[in-house]
Structure 1
Amino acid sequence: MSELRPGLAAVRDLARSAQGVREAGELLDRICASVAETFGFGRAGISRLRPETDKLELLATHGISAQEVRQLSSSLDDWRIFKRALETRDLVFIEDVSAEHGLPPGVAEAYGVRGVLVLPLLSQDRCIGFLTADHGGEPFELDSSAAELLRTIGALVASFLEGALAQEELRRLDELKTNFIALASHELRTPAAVIYGISSTLQLRGRELDEEQIADLRRALYDQSDRLRRLVDQLLDLSRLEAKAIRIRPEPIRVRSRVEELVASLVPDRAASIELIVSAELEAVSDLDAFDRIVSNLITNAFRYGDPPVKIQAERQDRHFRLAVEDSGSGVNPEFVPQLFERFTRSEESKKNAEGAGLGLSIAQSFARAQGGDLIYKPIEPTGARFELVLPYPN
């Protein structure tokens, strides 16, 4: 019975550290500190795994600043020890990282890492993150009983992490809903008010205006009506996608001819600044309306927020169709990238350069995912933005 006491005490201490904490960040910081204190670690951290991008997102640290850690690569491919923990679904301990090369080049020397462990945090056999720890550059051993206790604690940490992430997601969704109502009413009210104002002017004072003034008002009336139409279409798309009420009917599409038609209708005066690299025989299998909505959004954004020349290229890679639209602008601010596909979100740069409700990319990505695909963003070096549509080919 005495052998169980240290383990029970560790579990008790971990549970106590989580009591009374509502904020996810504070909760995970306390867990890091508790684990470090229990096992005598010099440094500990908890990171979240984003499977859609294979990126690691730091959530909490102890013994090292978050700023120091965030200077490192967040790509899972650069961290062999994390990949091993993910593949084995088990604790990975490296006694000497210089001998096993589990870290990216230069990290061990720069941060004084010698022995290190990574524990995958599993929820229903799904890895949601990792617990990482070391002795701050000092060598250490990990016996079987300590490893087993870490696995037990890892299950508790995974449960806490999942709860914290769920809480954050609920808070985020509630904020999005509030923003949706506020921004939707604002975006609808603005063109509606302008349309009403112009209509009233034409109705009440039309006879007093000269032809040039009437032409200006008609032009403004058309522009605002078109803006209102586009916004209503986006809101309807969004509600139908959320309700899963959109029927997807995949069919073969000749990509080059379809893209040429979209370019001719969207940016006829900019066609000369587009480089189209698509084989005439290449076909995609997609819902035609969804394909048009996605590609139209990417082409429009390339000119609205980026700079020419614009490159559109498509190809078949293994079992996937890939279409990329690249522009030569300044790209997306790295700090804004995590919110890029969220609805009603716009970067400060986009707010200055063009009108919009911040729905286009969110809807385009939803259309892609409704077909089992995705829409992803990658920066271009030295400058530019690249959006890539990925769709599966049927078996």
Structure 2
Amino acid sequence: QMVHALAQAEQERAVMLAGVAHDLRAPITRMQVRADLLPDEANRSGFLRDAESLSRIVTQFLDFASESADRSPPTSVDAHCRRHYGDSLEDDALVRLDLQAGDGFGLPLVDLDRILTNLIENALTYGEPPVEISTSRHNGHYTLTVRDHGGGIPGGQLERALQPFVRLDEARSGDAHCGLGLAIVRRLVRYNGGVFHADNAVDGGFVVSMTFPA
């Protein structure tokens, strides 16, 4: 009964969150249209930035409230990473790739894009570049890993960092972050039959590893 009650409470919270996010879509869009008509450039730019921040937060709310894997067609993880994040080997590249999984590793396009976007934004906001994206296949499983080279997360704060609406560093979080990035990724991985693991790298930085059945 307790498990059922907790699951029901979680579902009700997700439904409420999704409803609020949907209701906010229309006024945010109207704000963007009206802001674009302002004659003063400084005010116009400021209003548009605020409206864009609100829009990104609403998108995170909707992603978090989702209760199943997306039904978009599966796409190759390796090909998607190459297409959108390049294959640069430059020393100052923000994102570096090491893609060894092969074409057999596929995830729904929308979910894959959400996973990578949230993890890369989180890495660049709280960590330090370069952000390394790697894939591999081993013992019948595919693994997708994203790590940064920042200071990592204090050991006692790791579990807290994975909780929704928690921001460990308020000063660096910005207006468009509401503490949902890692929670969204963990949900999306679970909905796609995967296992999520996050920890500090041995040689520095924060690393998220996601394992999916082949």
Which residues of structure 2 form unaligned runs of 5+? none
Q: Structure 1 324/271 Cα, relative in aligned 2: closer, same or farther at 3 Å? A: farther
Q: Secondary structure at the match of 1:335?
A: helix
Residue 262 (structure 1) aligns with: 84
Q: Residue 234 of structure 1 corresponds to which residue in structure 2?
A: 60
1:217 to partner: Cα distance:
2.5
Q: Tell me which residue corresponds to 1:41.
A: none
Shift of 1:321: 1.1
Uncovered stretches (5+) of structure 1, i.e. residues with no partner: 1-162, 207-213, 265-269
Does residue 290 (structure 1) correspond to residue 116 (structure 2)? The answer is no
Matches within 5 A, 1:62-73: none
The answer to whether 1:319 aligns with 2:124 is no
Of structures 1 and 2, the one scoring higher in RCO (CA 8 A, sep 6+) is 2
Q: Equivalent residue for 1:118?
A: none
User: SS at 1:391's partner residue?
Assistant: strand
**Aligned equivalents of 1:284, 1:247: Cα separation in 2:** 16
For residue 186 of structure 2, what is the aligned residue in structure 1?
A: 365
Q: Greater Rg, structure 1 or structure 2?
A: 1
Corresponding residue number in structure 2 for 1:384: 205
CA distance in 1, matches of 2:101, 2:202: 29
Alpha-carbon shift at residue 341 of structure 1 (Å) = 2.1
Q: Which residue of 1 aligns with 2:172?
A: 353
Q: Deviations over 1:304-353 (max 9, x none)?
A: 11112222111111221111111110111222211222211121x2x111
> Contact 2:145–2:208 at 8 Å: present in 1 too?
yes
For residues 187-228 of structure 1, the C-alpha deviation after alignment (integer angstroms, 9 at most, x for no partner) is x7xx96xx59x84993xxx4xxxxxxx333232233222212
Relative to structure 1, the CA distance from residue 225 to residue 263 in structure 2 (aligned partners, 3 Å threshold; closer, same or farther) is farther
Q: Distance in 1 between matches of 2:83 and 2:184?
A: 21
Distance 1:234 1:273 in 2: 23
How far apart, in 2, do the equivalents of 1:283 and 1:340 lie?
A: 32
Partner-residue secondary structure (3-state), 2:204:
coil
Q: CA deviation at 1:368?
A: 1.0
Q: For 2:70 and 2:96, locate their aligned partners in 1 and report how far apart those are by CA, in whole Å.
A: 33
CA shift in 2, pair 1:271/1:230, >3 Å: farther
CA distance in 1, matches of 2:37, 2:134: 48
Distance 1:273 1:357, change over 3 A: closer
1:117-128 correspondence to structure 2 within 5 Å? none
CA contact (8 A) 1:326 1:386 kept: yes
Q: Write the letter of the residue equivalent to 1:218.
A: R
Corresponding residue for 1:23? none
Q: Deviations over 1:233-288 (max 9, x none)?
A: 222223332xx4x543563x333331133336xxxxx9823221114844412111
Pick closer, same or farther for the CA change 1:223–1:380 going to 2, 3 Å. Answer: same
Q: CA deviation at 1:379?
A: 0.8
Asked if structure 1 preserves the Cα contact closer than 8 Å seen for 2:92 and 2:130, the reply is no
Aligned positions of 1:100-139 closer than 5 A: none
Instruction: Report how many aligned residue pairs link the two structures.
Output: 193
CA contact (8 A) 1:248 1:371 kept: no
Distance 1:271 1:261 in 2: 19
Give the SS at the match of 1:272: coil
TM-score using structure 1 length = 0.43
How many percent of aligned residue pairs carry the same amino acid?
26
Q: 2:48 aligns with which of 222, 229, 237?
A: 222
Return closer, same or farther for 1:248/1:343 CA change in 2, 3 Å cut-off.
same
SS of the aligned residue for 1:336 comes to helix
Distance 1:286 1:333, change over 3 A: same
Q: Is the 8 A contact 1:298 1:325 kept in 2?
A: yes
Note if contact 1:250-1:285 (Cα within 8 Å) is conserved in structure 2.
no
Q: TM-score, normalised by structure 2?
A: 0.74
Hey, which bits of structure 1, 4+ residues long, moved more than 3 A? 198-201, 246-250, 279-283
Measure, in 1, the Cα distance between the counterparts of 2:36 and 2:125. Answer: 32
- Over the aligned positions, Cα root-mean-square deviation in angstroms equals 3.3
What amino acid sits opposite 1:296 in the alignment? T
Structure 1 pair 218–262 and aligned structure 2 pair: CA distance change class (3 A)? farther
SS at match of 2:202: coil
Structure 1: distance between partners of 2:36 and 2:193? 48
